[in-house]
Structure 1
Amino acid sequence: MFTVMMILFNKDFNYQVGGFALSTIAWILCITSMGLPQWRVWYLKEAAISYPSVAFVGVWKTCLYHYDNSSNIRTCYQYSYYDTFIPLDIRISQHLLLITSIFWLIGKVATIVALRNVYRGRQEQNATHNAFGLSAILNIIASSFVFLAVLCNYFSIVNKEGIAFPPSFHMPLYPHNQKAGAAMGVAFLSAVLFLFSGVIFISSTVPLNIVDFPDI
């Protein structure tokens, strides 16, 4: 009983739990950004439509919106990991985000093991420190991978690069104008939270010096 109370009031232990929570939120945001098409917003001009069409170009799909005075038509096209028309920046983003999910899963297991050792008052210092250290390294790497995915797409927007979509997508090679979408913001926030989580695991001290008092 006293051991549990000492752990709960230990600031370092609370930091570790907070780092675990941050990494979980970061992973959720990362997965969410992968499923969103709004990585790049393309503005297209079509003579047959009174207003410019808008296309959302994501990591795994593209959605095209046609606007007129009376309706809003949405058409989405999925593309897989093996499609040959996918440009290098999107291909790199697919790799980076998938590897990030794997790293997070390994780091999550390591963090759970370390927190369990601390909660049970075990004095396995090397094992616990190594588990937190592994989780910290993986979270920082995950942060850099997500940030690189954001940078790849951002530089493609800045350089006004086009995409040679297949004819079935009904998409031009280049948009009239393009900008960063909301999914890039979600991914960037994920990278920041991954980084904070890794820094917390590195900077905070694991509360190993716990004395187990018998119940009275």
Structure 2
Amino acid sequence: MQAQALLHLLQLTSPSLPIGAYSYSQGLEAAIENGTVKNEAGARAWIVDSLHEVVARFEAPILWRLLQAFSARDASAVAMWNERFIAARDTAEFRAETIQMGYSLSKLAIDLKIGDESLLDLMVTQGEVPLPTALAYSAVALNVPHDAALLGMLFAWAENQVLVCVKSVPLGQVAGQRLLLSLQPELDAAARTAQELADDELSNWSPGLSLLSMQHEVQYSRLYRS
């Protein structure tokens, strides 16, 4: 990868990117509250299962398709995958999370004037914009290779999940970094899965996670917004 593309990728996936990713746990806080995740081993098992059973089979493949659609300036494909992703958010928190972060990232990208006129037209014609759509737009506009953008998205997701565990289980900082290192082959495998799945193989079927998200909505004391 060229240095400029790498630097753009690092900026897009940085924890300091002002889109509010740090404020979401994606159901993990509820799992910690009910004792499903209570130590480093449990945290790793949670993240690996969520990665392979949910993210790699739905969110990442849709990002992959959106990257291709934006590159081809395929308006119908962008609209279809944008709508399908939003429709698949099956709790109020999950939907609010992706719309809020997608809005923040797309507004940031537009304010920074990245992307040519044809890309910008594709973005502004969407109604609500979830995070994968905004991330795909930004990556294509900044000439980040598709495979790198996909891995960056997966790492950013995993890093946020680890940070939730560091703060809420709690785990120590060394344990958190050990956990991130151990996830590298899992992230690579998830990226390959996301690129290989056919359209009719995509699935976000995860009723246990959906129930935890709904429980989080009424959790008595919480740090995160999902």
Do these two structures clear the TM 0.5 threshold for a shared fold by scoring above it?
Answer: no
TM-score for the superposition, normalised by structure 1: 0.28
Determine which structure has greater relative contact order: mean sequence separation of CA pairs < 8 Å that are 6+ residues apart, divided by chain length: 2
TM-score for the superposition, normalised by structure 2: 0.27
Instruction: Write 1 or 2 for the structure with the bigger share of helix.
Output: 2
Computing the radius of gyration over CA atoms, which structure comes out larger, 1 or 2? 1
